[in-house]
Each structure stands twice: as structure tokens, then as C-alpha cells.
Amino acid sequence: MELWKQLLSDDVGLLSLITIVVASLVVGVCVTLFIRNMKNESRKH
């Protein structure tokens, strides 16, 4: 818990945490879209 307090108490730490969360969301959306497109392609053939 002490590490979280140190991380969130600094602006740079807060921005890095936001960056990690946003990057994870972007990767998740890309993987989801890729899987959906692969399923749609398999239905067409």
C-alpha cells in the first residue's frame, strides 16, 4: 500500500498510471476487434 501512496502522490506517478490504464484499454479493444473480425471471416467462408 505504501508504494501506491507514493505513486499516486506524485504527478508523474499519476500520469504514468493513467498511461498504463489507457494503453491496456487500447490493447483490449484491438484484441476484441481482431477476434470479432476473425469470427466474421470464418463465417463468410
- pLDDT, position 28: 98
Domain range annotation of the chain:
2-44
CA distance 27 to 20: 11
- pLDDT, position 24: 99
pTM greater than the 0.75 cutoff: no
How does pLDDT run across 1-45, given as a tens digit for each residue? 888 888 888 899 899 999 999 999 999 999 999 999 999 888 876
- pLDDT, position 5: 87
- Cβ neighbours of residue 6 under 8 Å, at least 6 residues apart? 13
- pLDDT, position 41: 84
3-state secondary structure of 45: coil
Are the CB atoms for 8 and 17 separated by under 8 Å?
yes
